[in-house]
Structure 1
Amino acid sequence: MNLKQCVALLALTFTGVVFAQTAQESAIKKLIEPKLGQGVKVDSIIKTPYGGLYEVRVGSDILYTDEKAQYLFVGNVIDAKSGTNYTKARTDELSKIKFSDLPLESALKMVKGDGKRVIAVFEDPNCGYCKRFRKTLAGMDNITVYTFLYNILSEDSTVKSKNVWCSADRNKAWDDWMLNGKAPSAAPANCTTPNEKILALGQKLRVNGTPAIFFADGSRVPGAMDAKGLEEKFASLNSAK
């Protein structure tokens, strides 16, 4: 079974699981949940098409157990023949978002060239990896970048983001700081920002670190990417159309 077939089968399992396996899944959940630690809640359990394992999903984390919940398996399920990482494929699918639902009006917008290749990125002004990624983006062409100012590293992050947002030229102020270390001028006291809205959005999307990159198909990449990685990702998205 190849990767696409496996993911498709899991999707079909989700659609029919309520009717076909509710009792068994409930039994496994009842047995396994107390073993995961106090306060941990299992979001779903489904039977996988490999090895008789059951997938235990906690948020976007994937674990595995047997039908009697006697054993708990932590790690990746990899096809020994093809090398396909089924666990990664599943977590990638779970972490997808609906790109069109993002409040793009609350993000900085940078367009280079034809702007056809679109990403959204959550960045903190005090994030070193974000600054590295910003340098990568500066060398890219034919791209549109929506930047959400996601302040999670310090109180000073909120101040810097407000100063950037309230600047006459937000993109210039952001690049001046991220690329050149030139701090933006202090924001007027009456200037309002979407900081709290973006913080809530990031928490809802389980953005736990910066940068977090989202592509037009809804897939995400946590952490900075280099130019080669970005080009390969865009190429794969184009070939999938």
Structure 2
Amino acid sequence: MPALPALLAGALLTTLALGAQANEAAIRKTLAERIPQLSKIDEVRATPMDGLFEVRIGTDLFYTDARGNYLIQGELIDTKARRNLTEDRINKLTAVKFDELPFKDAVTIVRGDGSRKLAVFEDPNCGYCKRFERDMQNVNNVTVHLFLYPILSPDSVEKSRNIWCAKSPEAAWHDLMLREKTPASASCDTAALQRNLALGKKHKITGTPTLIFTDGSRVPGAIGAQEVEKRLAETASAR
């Protein structure tokens, strides 16, 4: 016959599980009835804060009480650990499997031995991208997979096409970003650019540059060469 402590522990776990299921059911029912836009919830889960639950729709996060009577849209901060729990969760949800990126749709730029790897989504009219590219001239031994991502203006589409279709896309890209030399008009199959836009939308890439490292982590926005070096070293040691 099982010992009493073991029976009590098992009963407690069962009770907690049933309680969590009841909370999830109540949250889903209440929110669907009161806010039709929240009728298709992907996940409900407890947060580290007592009585607060995370409601996830895609990669959008909301917070609610155990009955769904109140809804919060914002960030949950762990003040003791000094961590943004909402940001951590979104980073995990939007992590990209680096090795599954469609590199055939990217301009591949190799510096030095190319041993370290990085993917970046950039718009040719992005001023921050130009600053990032200048800083990247100080980073060696790296392979950069550049996904042209024309989202800023119609002219971005034209410039991306001319770069993608150039005899040397890498040279055309650097001429524009480092020397302000507009790429010559060119034409070819640009289906890759449309696939890049779809890929970015899928992974909620809303700004440029957006960097993706081999561990799937991303950095939205331009960072300097020193920070790039740090992250390349961290991701290399993690693999």
Following superposition, the deviation at residue 36 of structure 1 comes to: 5.9
Identify if the C-alpha distance between structure 1 residues 102 and 87 changes in structure 2 by more than 3 Å, giving closer, same or farther.
Answer: same
1:123 matched residue in structure 2: 122
Segments of 5+ residues of structure 2 without an aligned counterpart are: 1-16
2:235 matched residue in structure 1: 237
Output the amino acid matched with 1:196.
Answer: Q
1:192 matched residue in structure 2: 189
Output the amino acid matched with 2:217.
Answer: S
Provide the rounded CA distance (Å) in 1 between the counterparts of 2:68 and 2:145.
44
Provide the rounded CA distance (Å) in 2 between the counterparts of 1:33 and 1:110.
49
Following superposition, the deviation at residue 224 of structure 1 comes to: 1.2
- The TM-score with structure 2 as length reference comes to 0.83
What count of residue pairs does the alignment treat as equivalent? Answer: 222
Provide the rounded CA distance (Å) in 2 between the counterparts of 1:55 and 1:236.
30
Following superposition, the deviation at residue 56 of structure 1 comes to: 1.4
1:76 matched residue in structure 2: 75
1:227 matched residue in structure 2: 225
Following superposition, the deviation at residue 145 of structure 1 comes to: 0.5
Query: Which range moved further: 99-108 or 43-52?
Result: 43-52
Identify if the C-alpha distance between structure 1 residues 34 and 170 changes in structure 2 by more than 3 Å, giving closer, same or farther.
Answer: farther
Q: Does 1:151 align with 2:150?
A: yes
Residues 1-241 of structure 1: pairs in structure 2 closer than 5 A: 21-33=20-32, 38=37, 41-188=40-187, 191-193=188-190, 194-241=192-239
Following superposition, the deviation at residue 149 of structure 1 comes to: 0.8
- TM-superposition CA deviations, 1:30-56 (whole Å, max 9, x none): 323566675785332111233231111
- TM-superposition CA deviations, 1:194-240 (whole Å, max 9, x none): 11111111111111111111111111111111122212222332443
Would the aligned equivalents of 2:31 and 2:39 in 1 still touch at CA under 8 Å?
Answer: no
Provide the rounded CA distance (Å) in 1 between the counterparts of 2:33 and 2:59.
19
Following superposition, the deviation at residue 172 of structure 1 comes to: 0.5
Identify if the C-alpha distance between structure 1 residues 36 and 59 changes in structure 2 by more than 3 Å, giving closer, same or farther.
Answer: farther
Provide the rounded CA distance (Å) in 2 between the counterparts of 1:150 and 1:220.
16
Output the amino acid matched with 1:185.
Answer: A
- TM-superposition CA deviations, 1:145-171 (whole Å, max 9, x none): 000111111111111111111111110
Displaced runs of 4+ in structure 1, greater than 4 A?
Answer: 19-23, 33-41
Output the amino acid matched with 1:240.
Answer: A
1:9 matched residue in structure 2: none
SS of the equivalent of 1:110 reads strand
Following superposition, the deviation at residue 70 of structure 1 comes to: 2.2
2:13 matched residue in structure 1: none
Identify if the C-alpha distance between structure 1 residues 105 and 51 changes in structure 2 by more than 3 Å, giving closer, same or farther.
Answer: same
- The TM-score with structure 1 as length reference comes to 0.83
Output the amino acid matched with 1:222.
Answer: P
Provide the rounded CA distance (Å) in 1 between the counterparts of 2:38 and 2:67.
22
Give the root-mean-square deviation of aligned CA atoms: 2.3
Output the amino acid matched with 2:189.
Answer: T
Provide the rounded CA distance (Å) in 2 between the counterparts of 1:38 and 1:61.
12
Segments of 5+ residues of structure 1 without an aligned counterpart are: 1-16
